[in-house]
Amino acid sequence: MKIQEFKATSGRYSHYDPERERDIFKLFQEQLKASSLKELLAFSLIMEDHAMAMAPGSYPTWSQFSHLTNPKRELYEMVNPLILKISHPEFFNRITLSQEFAFLKDF
């Protein structure tokens, strides 16, 4: 099976690969930890924007709080939750993930 065929069957976000993102973010954990929330948001927005430019609707819109049940509209809530989990777990623990993304808590 080709990778793109597999991804097409893996849910509504065909360009979202949380396992790969987690692995990459762990490689850059020290740099991410040293970054401010604004810098993390900028990085997250670049990823989101690039994926959406390739295929609209194929990647979660973290910046629009699509992954949260009750957003407080805080800056940290707009950052990719895996980036938060690896760089600033205290902020990750503050967010309430929707059922669709609840798996990230134990991921």
- Confidence check: pLDDT of 8 > 50: no
Query: pLDDT digit string (tens) for 53-107?
Result: 988 999 999 999 999 999 999 999 999 999 999 999 999 999 999 999 999 999 8
Q: How far is the C-alpha of 39 from the C-alpha of 32, rounded, in Å?
A: 9
Buried b (16+ CB within 10 A) or exposed e, 52-70: eeeeeeebbebeebebbee
pLDDT-derived band at 10, boundaries 50, 70, 90:
low
